[in-house]
Amino acid sequence: MALETTRSVSNDPAASRVKPAKSPSLWKHSWRRLRKNKLAMFGLVFIIFMFIFCFIGPLFSPYTNGNTDILNMKKAPSASHWLGTDLVGRDVLTRLMQAGQISLTIGIVSMILTVIIGGGLGVISGYYRGFVDLVIMRLADILMSIPSLPLLIIMGAIMTEWKVPPEYRIYIVMIMLSILGWPSLARLVRGQILSLREREFMQAAESLGLRDYRKMFYHLLPNTLPMLIVVCTLTVGGAILSESALSYLGVGVGPTTPSWGKMIDLANNLMDFQKRPWLWIPPGLAVFLTVISINLLGDGLRDALDPQGNR
């Protein structure tokens, strides 16, 4: 990635102190470039729509209490239930919104955890180099060598064995996803820090006698922000995909927590799969459309924040 030149001009702490107005111009420029990218803008608009749909949508639904309705079980889509009802008579559309809250939350929280672990360890590794770097990068190598799906599946099984209360499983899923996600991010950050720390602005920071902590997290890390933003976006999509796969396999969130993957899980029942597609196709499409929007936005952000890129 050839991001350094544009960034060091605008984020250089010495420069920004002289001309504070300089810093936002990078973001303004990028935003202008992003706006020209139709696919990325579609992604952004759809993601915003999805958030409104999942978090505000239930307010307009008469079925939010999740009560079972024995008279209206397994009904096909109709005027009162737009996407039909499920096996115990709950409204599928409302459930889709509530499941979306869970899936989106898992995506975002595990992204934040991944960035905290991966970004932190990456900066430390690139800044101190030597032995610390060796240990952290070895650990990353090791974690990246273990096939992730079998490992996630077995961690999910362990949760079941340890009788983790179903409502806590969602937090463990988030932690699991970030444990497997941080190594690649740490590598990327480390790579950038290794070259950034040789820059002149770091010599300036050095001569000011700043503490390591300040140098790492106030001077080096902000310079990797354009890359971090892109990776963050894509990580959210990846986490939503992984969560849906885990829940589909029955080792993700607990049975009482609705998530999109958990809803598609119903397709494991042959009758529901063949005769009642309204139960599992809408959540599948929701995952697909959300993840494709996130990927389009992430790709657009990459182009916008990295004008030298050739794509």
* Binding interface with other proteins (CB under 8 A): 39, 138-139, 141-143, 145-147, 149-151, 153-155, 157-158, 161-162, 237, 241, 244-245, 248-249, 251, 261, 264, 267, 273-274, 277, 280-281, 284, 287-288, 291-292, 294-296, 299, 310-311
Q: Please identify, using beta-carbon distances, which residue of 163 and 211 lies nearer to other proteins.
A: 163
Q: Please identify, using beta-carbon distances, which residue of 145 and 207 lies nearer to other proteins.
A: 145
Q: Considering the complex, what minimum distance in angstroms separates the CB of residue 281 from other proteins?
A: 8
Q: Please identify, using beta-carbon distances, which residue of 136 and 216 lies nearer to other proteins.
A: 136
* 147 to 142, 150, 152, 296: CA distances (angstroms): 10, 6, 9, 27
CA atoms within 13 A on the CB side of 75: 20
Q: Please identify, using beta-carbon distances, which residue of 65 and 310 lies nearer to other proteins.
A: 310
Helix axes 148-161, 166-196, angle to 10 degrees: 140
Q: Considering the complex, what minimum distance in angstroms separates the CB of residue 51 from other proteins?
A: 18
Q: Considering the complex, what minimum distance in angstroms separates the CB of residue 267 from other proteins?
A: 5
Q: What is the DSSP string of 15-49?
A: HHHH-GGGHHHHHHHHHHHHHH-HHHHHHHHHHHH
Any bridge partners for residue 74, and if so which?
A: none
- Structure-block tokens of residue 190: 């480390």
- Count Cβ neighbours within 10 Å for each residue of 265-303 and write b for 16 or more, e otherwise: bbbeeeebeeebebbbebbbebbeebbebbbbbbbbbbb
Q: Please identify, using beta-carbon distances, which residue of 73 and 157 lies nearer to other proteins.
A: 157
Residue with tokens 């820090």: 193
Q: Considering the complex, what minimum distance in angstroms separates the CB of residue 52 from other proteins?
A: 20
Q: Considering the complex, what minimum distance in angstroms separates the CB of residue 264 from other proteins?
A: 6
Q: Considering the complex, what minimum distance in angstroms separates the CB of residue 260 from other proteins?
A: 9
Q: Please identify, using beta-carbon distances, which residue of 193 and 294 lies nearer to other proteins.
A: 294
